[in-house]
Structure 1
Amino acid sequence: MARTKKKGKRGNKKPNKQELQASEYGAEVEMEDAEGNGASASAPPQPTKVWVPGVDEIGDDEELQFDPTAYHCLHSFKLGWPCLSFDIMRDDLGVLRRDFPHAMYCVAGTQADQPGSNSIAVVHMTNVTGKIPKAPSAMEDGDDDADDSDSSSDEEDIEDLEGAPNQPIQSKKPIFKVRLVAHQGCVNRVRAMTQQSHIVATWGDSGYVQVWDMGNHIRSMATSGPDPSGAPTTVRQAPLHIFTGHKDEGYALDWSPITAGRLLSGDCKSNIHLWEPTPGGKWAVEKTPYTGHSASVEDLQWSPTEADVFASCSVDGTLRIWDTRNRQGSAISIKAHDADINVISWNRVASCMIASGCDDGTFRIWDLRNLKEDSFVAHFKYHTLPVTSIEWSPHDASTLGVTSADHQLTIWDLSLERDAEEEALYQAQLKQQQAEAPQDLPPQLLFVHQGQKDLKEFHWHPQIQGMLMSTAGDGFNILRPSNLDNLPAL
């Protein structure tokens, strides 16, 4: 984001409940002179400066400018109520996909004002185009006039667009199909099974963990035409399994990437339960939990390479490594942060690395080959409010993303180092004036995405390189930063 002198206008505040809608960022920013008249093409360019969130203030006569060249893809949509958690569902459309337009699936859980108003949403997105967006007016306060996404004209075009990656970039908006399944209580976290993505687990604020089969909804959306209206009805469906053995609600939930159907759930009473799949589509949940944490278990992550090993983090500030074959406690426990550890991520490409995000806004990188207190590989203090999610890229061992309550999604490349000569050479080759970046920004900071309020969670798409999706209090974003083009193919 760059900061320029400009007159601005604030919109009206939106209600808590969102309308079901989808949009792409598509309104031009028109420069105005001091009296509000359109500026002429010959007007001298206004001075720009890189704005550092949480550090720089915005003056009354200044406004943030959106740089559309920073994205190859940027779209937004909403699902009625805000969603605290979602997951991207793997599909059979191919791996390591790059060419636009894309199709993708996700599952999300709502945070409604009444327990009976909640649902699990399964979303099918097609015609996710790579058109470089314009100014993000669709996310401004008071803009509730986005067009319904399931228009018949878009549906007619999608058959021609898919399977034709060499066609020119399209301007049509994405098409969203939604199926809603009733869920009693808010969904604290939702996760789709790695091997069978139609199998979904939810952690509810009711204290129950449930497993659902969303296969019929996925098949219906894949073969049906556009929805007849923009407000899908909510269907009632029985879950495959309900576990009521937790003593409180929780947030920690993770499917094993190695053993299909194996699940972990952790609660706010510091207990972790192991789920083992059984014949007939059910689960046997061990009644005796794994114990060791002295406070709420906030996140769980299975090892990507060892079937019986998993990691946990807690409000007690510890990071623990467990072996399911040993009931005597965790194999390793370290004091990883001085405050609550909210989230962890186990690197799927370099399996010796774990990242942890803290309530004080910091995050750290740990090497399991030397996991001791104060032995972190890297420590970053950039975010000013709690880290709400952290995840390694599935396509590059040194890249990870972070979301924070400071309304930022940041992408980091740990392999980067500052090179003054290279920076000077790059600046000399540029043909356009660039804003002067602050010297104290970490060289590993690759990208900053803003525009969403109260960011909760993000995920990399496991099959589309460089594609991310994030959820916040005001809806979802789908984005692909332009500077992630050089990710290596695995």
Structure 2
Amino acid sequence: MSKRGASDDLESHNKKTPNDPAPITEENDLDVGEFEDPYGDEFESDGEIIELDDNEDEEMDEEAANEKIEKLEQMEEQEESSIYLPHRSKPLGPDEVLEADPSVYEMLHNINLPWPCLTVDILPDNLGDERRSFPASVYMATATQASKAKDNELIVMKASSLAKTLVKDEDEDDEEDEDEDVDSDPILDSETIPLRHTTNRIRVSPHAQQTGEYLTATMSENGEAYIFDLSAQYKAFDTPGYMIPKSSKRPIHTIRAHGNVEGYGLDWSPLINTGALLTGDVSGRVHLTSRTTSNWVTDKTPFFASQHSIEDIQWSTGENTVFATADTEGYVRIWDTRSKKHKPAISVKASNTDVNVISWCNKINHLLASGHDDGSWSVWDLRNFTAKTNPTPVANYDFHKSAVTSISFNPLDESIIAVSSEDNTVTLWDLAVEADDEEISTQRKEIKELNDIPPQLLFVHWQRDVKDVRWHKQIPGCLISTGGDGLNIWKTISV
């Protein structure tokens, strides 16, 4: 895991350690997950050990001893400063794991789960916005990919007492930490809802704070989409003795318009607070489900352009009838729900491979990012989208060499983007960094290792089999990502 600022070197610790799980610290017995201490491993040096006692010191040549000690120190320094970069480094060996450098994280916590999860989302809370103090609390929802269909679950969690994990210099003033509970153990509370199938994607309505309903949609591999109200689960975390009604463990509506065709596309409208949900499947169909005064209604006529799979859907952040889709034909398409033909208004060829994911910028609603199956990703200015010409992206990067699995604009900073990839990394990018900045240009000339690294790259976070990454809208810079071995809750000093 590594970090790089606009004028800093990338740093990473890639150490050979036994490939065993790190020690677990538990606040109490947990049904579905437990926190893992990311800094609990004890490292053993593979280098030569020099033992000096009084007698040996008299006999050993002092210069030779000093040379050996200096050699060991150099080996240790090289090991600690090794850089892991997905486009350059060799894959980890069977006995190697990548350890986080705590000095580049402001917060890093791991949650082990009973099964891998392909998706995660964050529940808005009532703890306030712009939260920067510690310990922190987050509410989230995920769903499993169990080996047996009957073992799948939707898991709602509250992680609290999340301490600051930033390692400071010895000479740095620690007064500001005196009032912060830095050494407390994190607490994980959870509630589960049984599911019958693997969930490909989960999304929580962004209007939960305003409406009091924690509407949460899941897209399942059996082709059905479910809508749950997680209000009771959310309430249970903060109300001692509260019993969750049995009805709250069942979906309030099931969307069956896709038949038995599997789907991945799923998104709630950020502008329609009554509830407007888009779902897309692998046969290329997109259905709109809206809520009336008494029920949920799914439009029977699908939006359709081709038989290629709809991989992702994003509502516009500026117009409540406009949405975008990404598909395996390599297109980003812009649609309008008012169209009687249910055809796209504009189709743009974004990649020669599948377009796996897209993200619509919250703050600048004419910017859209797309992540592709070849590892590249792009940012598009939608004002350049026309029916007659195929535009070029305003930014394009091919740093990742494996498929992009998630992409997300920072909702609080329009220039910051998080990208996850099948190369087991999440990268953070700052598009505001100018490549021709004099300070950066000078540094890149002096440090050869930076020559093939885009200056916009801020940070590289390693997580095995990472699938989804989400920004926390109320905790600036905080992200939650899900991978093969659980959830990571993290915040870097770069953002």
**TM-score normalized by structure 2?**
0.81
1:257 deviates by: 0.4
Aligned-partner Cα distance in 1 for 2:239–2:51: 48
Bigger shift: residues 84-93 or 165-174: 165-174
Aligned-partner Cα distance in 1 for 2:447–2:40: 23
1:100 deviates by: 1.4
Partner of 2:465: 454
Q: Which amino acid aligns with 1:216?
A: A
Q: How far does the alpha carbon of each residue in 1:412-439 deviate from its partner, in whole angstroms, 9 at most, with x for none?
A: 0111124575249989xxxxxx997431
Partner of 1:115: 149
Q: Which amino acid aligns with 1:243?
A: I
State whether residues 49 and 436 of structure 1, in contact with CA within 8 Å, keep that contact through their aligned partners in structure 2.
no
Q: Structure 1 residue 405 and structure 2 residue 439: aligned?
A: no
Q: In 2 relative to 1, CA 277–64 (structure 1 residues): closer, same or farther, beyond 3 Å?
A: closer
Partner of 2:191: 179
Instruction: Give SS of 1:422's match.
Output: helix
Aligned residue runs from structure 1 range 294-309, under 5 A: 294-309=307-322
State whether residues 50 and 438 of structure 1, in contact with CA within 8 Å, keep that contact through their aligned partners in structure 2.
no
1:30 deviates by: 4.2
Q: In 2 relative to 1, CA 65–120 (structure 1 residues): closer, same or farther, beyond 3 Å?
A: closer
State whether residues 50 and 435 of structure 1, in contact with CA within 8 Å, keep that contact through their aligned partners in structure 2.
no
Q: Which amino acid aligns with 2:403?
A: P
Instruction: Give SS of 1:203's match.
Output: strand
Partner of 2:345: 331
1:165 deviates by: 9.1
Once superposed, what is the RMSD of the aligned Cα atoms? 3.3
Q: Which amino acid aligns with 2:346?
A: I
Partner of 1:384: 401
Q: Would you tell me which structure has more helix in proportion to its own residues? A: 2
Partner of 1:466: 477
Q: Structure 1: 5+ residue runs without aligned partners?
A: 135-163, 228-233, 428-433, 485-490
Q: Structure 1 residue 441 and structure 2 residue 453: aligned?
A: yes
1:127 to 139, 161, 166: 161
Q: In 2 relative to 1, CA 437–68 (structure 1 residues): closer, same or farther, beyond 3 Å?
A: farther
Partner of 1:152: none
Partner of 2:86: 53
1:29 deviates by: 5.3
1:37 deviates by: 7.5
1:482 to 461, 473, 493: 493
State whether residues 89 and 105 of structure 1, in contact with CA within 8 Å, keep that contact through their aligned partners in structure 2.
yes
Q: In 2 relative to 1, CA 165–119 (structure 1 residues): closer, same or farther, beyond 3 Å?
A: farther
Q: Which amino acid aligns with 2:331?
A: T
Q: Structure 1 residue 224 and structure 2 residue 265: aligned?
A: no
- Whichever of the two has the greater Rg, that structure is 2
State whether residues 87 and 399 of structure 2, in contact with CA within 8 Å, keep that contact through their aligned partners in structure 1.
no
Q: In 2 relative to 1, CA 62–249 (structure 1 residues): closer, same or farther, beyond 3 Å?
A: closer
Aligned-partner Cα distance in 2 for 1:235–1:385: 42
Q: Structure 1 residue 11 and structure 2 residue 27: aligned?
A: no
2:264 to 238, 247, 251: 251
State whether residues 357 and 387 of structure 1, in contact with CA within 8 Å, keep that contact through their aligned partners in structure 2.
yes
1:374 deviates by: 4.2
Q: How far does the alpha carbon of each residue in 1:204-239 deviate from its partner, in whole angstroms, 9 at most, with x for none?
A: 111111111111111111123899xxxxxx998321
Instruction: Give SS of 1:132's match.
Output: coil
Instruction: Give SS of 1:406's match.
Output: coil
Query: Percent same amino acid among aligned pairs?
Result: 35
Partner of 2:38: 25
Aligned-partner Cα distance in 1 for 2:150–2:99: 41
Aligned residue runs from structure 1 range 30-49, under 5 A: 30=43, 32=45, 34-35=47-48, 44-45=73-74, 46-47=77-78, 48-49=81-82
Q: In 2 relative to 1, CA 404–58 (structure 1 residues): closer, same or farther, beyond 3 Å?
A: closer
Q: Structure 1 residue 415 and structure 2 residue 428: aligned?
A: no
Partner of 1:343: 357
Q: Which amino acid aligns with 1:454?
A: D
Aligned-partner Cα distance in 2 for 1:81–1:235: 25
2:254 to 237, 242, 246: 242
Q: In 2 relative to 1, CA 166–324 (structure 1 residues): closer, same or farther, beyond 3 Å?
A: farther
State whether residues 207 and 250 of structure 1, in contact with CA within 8 Å, keep that contact through their aligned partners in structure 2.
yes
Instruction: Give SS of 1:91's match.
Output: coil
State whether residues 22 and 78 of structure 1, in contact with CA within 8 Å, keep that contact through their aligned partners in structure 2.
yes
1:53 deviates by: 2.3
Q: In 2 relative to 1, CA 74–41 (structure 1 residues): closer, same or farther, beyond 3 Å?
A: farther
Partner of 2:105: 71
Q: Which amino acid aligns with 2:142?
A: A
State whether residues 181 and 235 of structure 1, in contact with CA within 8 Å, keep that contact through their aligned partners in structure 2.
no
Aligned-partner Cα distance in 2 for 1:244–1:470: 29
Aligned-partner Cα distance in 2 for 1:225–1:307: 41
**TM-score normalized by structure 1?**
0.82
Aligned-partner Cα distance in 1 for 2:150–2:333: 36
Partner of 2:56: none
